[in-house]
A = this chain, B = another copy of it.
Amino acid sequence: MTPPSVETPPALGDRITLVGLILEAAAGLRRTLAPGLEGQLGVTGQAFEILLRLSRSPGHHLRMTDLSAQTGLTPSGLTRAVDRLEAAHLAVREVCPSDRRGAFATLTERGNEQTLLACERHRLDIDATLAGIFTAAEEVELARLLQRLRDAVFPEAALISAEPEVKRA
């Protein structure tokens, strides 16, 4: 009984569709960009996020708990992800001196170099992927809107882009 609806011209009016578009755009980007990251790093796209957050943190390290919150992985998922990074000699664990229950994940020298290389490659891949899709103004607008959404549904992830490295006055 759906009306003929030959095509809701802009295919909108439906928030289910809006959410669908976000999920599909994310899946498409993951699919498009994963090969570049994995070829460069030898690890999965998920691992790249961890490495990137470490490389942007002071001392190139973060508490397991914080990394877990920022990435959205469960503590157990993060434990295993860091296991793999250690096996690949991209990161190591260190005990937290002030609270010996805690552990830091710390980037190795090699891990940091690889991450920077992967970033350059990633940037090129993204440039190629986004070429011709948006005007500069549209890109800024898209980022502005997405940031509001992200801050609403996943605020823990914000730390990295909100305060890159500076916390001081």
The residues of A with any CB-CB pair to B shorter than 8 Å are 2, 4-8, 10-12, 15-33, 49, 55, 72, 112, 119, 122-123, 126-127, 129-130, 133-134, 138-150, 152-154, 157, 160-166
Contacts and interface: CB of A to CB of B under 8 A. Distances in A.
Given A10-B143, A140-B10, A164-B5, A122 B23 contact: no
17 contacts: A2-B164, A2-B165, A6-B164, A7-B164, A8-B164, A12-B143, A17-B161, A20-B49, A20-B160, A22-B146, A26-B27, A27-B154, A29-B153, A133-B148, A134-B145, A134-B148, A134-B149
Contacts of A134: 145, 148-149
Contacts of A143: 10-12, 17-18, 21
A117 to B, nearest CB: 14
Number of identical protomers: 2
A24 B164 contact: no
A134 B64 CA distance: 34
Given A4-B165, A162-B7, A165-B7, A25 B119 contact: no
Nearest to A60: B2
Contacts of A149: 25, 28-29, 130, 133-134, 142
The 9 closest A-B pairs by CB, nearest first: A28-B154, A28-B153, A26-B26, A7-B164, A11-B161, A21-B146, A24-B157, A25-B150, A142-B145
A114 to B, nearest CB: 14
